[in-house]
Amino acid sequence: MFLQDAPADTAGYMILGFSVILGMIGLYLVSLAVRWRNAQRDVQMLEEIDAKPPK
Amino acid sequence: MQPTPKGLRILSWITAALFAVALYLVFFHAPLEAVMGEVQRVFYFHVAAGWVGALAFLVTAVAGAIYLARKDRRWDRLAVSSVEIGVVFTLINILSGSVWARPIWNTWWTWDPRLVTATVMELVYVAYLLLRQGVEDPDRRARFGAVYAIVGFLSVPLTFLSIRLFRTIHPVVIGSNDPAAQGTFDMTPLMLQTFMFSLLTFTFLYVALLWHRVRLEGLHERIEQLKLRMLSG
């Protein structure tokens, strides 16, 4: 490295690094959105069942 | 349908804008590092992700302590939400560090004190999430979670101090490096600006994600309450 006259060619690793970072943040955002939608649906369904008078 | 609070919507848009600016700074504002080349740019988000992990676990420990004092379930909701975000960002930190290490240290992984303590910290909090699943009673679960969060927080300062206390090849951003450290560099003013802005952006991202996650936890509790009421009725 002491005799190096130009930076090392590490662009591939940079792309991989940012793919990991942005990919994981994106996945987490999708997971939050999906869980939110499913939980909303569950609450709605349970409230409907709960509101029905017993037969 | 629960509408998204206006404050959360504004925070989400500000965070998205900050994130776009941070990406611009990382790729176009910060200069190319003279030795490591392009892979050094990973550093800005790698450290910011680690910061979010530590912050999230600190919030969990504080929320746990307040829960034990007040027995208010809102603090437990905050604690479990924060742990989840901390686990995600600590994993990002570990994986992005591994990608950086491959060209710089010539290996994906080495048994360095920082890498080991960060992984142990991650596992401590993964265990927190798994163990919570095994406790049925919500109050017991919250109490158990609070005590675990306070004790588990010991792993955070240990991870932070590992590169300052032990012989290591991991670079130190704040403070002096171990002579054996590999991949160190002098931060230019432009690099420092990018680094500080990335930390700020990720802090906003953490707060926005935490707010969304706490709301989701609120819905989960509502589902649990409705199920219990139907079973008991």
- List, for residues A3-54, the tens digit of each pLDDT value: 667 888 999 999 999 999 999 999 999 999 999 999 999 999 999 988 877 6
Decide: residue B186, CB within 10 A, 0-12 exposed, 13-18 middle, 19+ buried. Answer: exposed
For B128-185, write each residue's pLDDT tens digit.
999 999 998 889 999 999 999 999 999 999 999 998 888 888 988 776 666 777 777 7
Stretch B58-67: mean pLDDT, rounded?
A: 98
pTM beyond 0.95: no
Stretch B45-59: mean pLDDT, rounded?
A: 98
Which residue, B47, B217, B72, B82, is CA-closest to B152? B82
Tokens 């959360």: give the residue. Answer: B8
B6 pLDDT exceeds 90? yes
User: Cα dihedral sign for B163, B167, B169, B175?
Assistant: positive
Stretch B103-124: mean pLDDT, rounded?
A: 96
B98 pLDDT exceeds 60? yes
CB neighbours of residue B227 within 10 Å: 13
- In chain B the first and final C-alpha atoms are separated, in Å, by 25
How far apart (Å, rounded) are the C-alpha atoms in residues A16 and A26? 15
Out of B42, B212, B227, the one facing A18 most closely (by C-beta) is B42
Do residue A28 and residue B99 have CB atoms under 8 angstroms apart? no
Out of A9, A10, A43, the one facing B222 most closely (by C-beta) is A43
Domain boundaries, chain B: 43-174+185-232
Which among B12, B26, B33, B223 is the top mutation candidate for probing chain A, defined by the most A β-carbons within 10 Å of its own β-carbon? B223
For B217-229, write each residue's pLDDT tens digit.
999 999 998 998 8
Question: Which residues of chain B make contact with A46, given a CB cutoff of 8 A?
Answer: 223, 226-227, 230
Do residue A9 and residue B37 have CB atoms under 8 angstroms apart? yes
B78 pLDDT exceeds 60? yes
CB B153, CB B57: distance < 8 Å: yes
CB B49, CB B100: distance < 8 Å: no
- What is the nearest CA distance from A41 to chain B, expressed in angstroms? 9
Q: B15 CB near a chain A CB, below 8 Å?
A: no
Q: B209 CB near a chain A CB, below 8 Å?
A: yes
Domain boundaries, chain A: 14-50
pLDDT the model gives residue A27 = 98
What are the φ/ψ torsions at residue B37 (nearest 5 degrees)?
A: 80, -150
Q: B232 CB near a chain A CB, below 8 Å?
A: no
Residue A2: pLDDT band (50, 70, 90) is low
How far apart (Å, rounded) are the C-alpha atoms in residues A26 and B9? 18
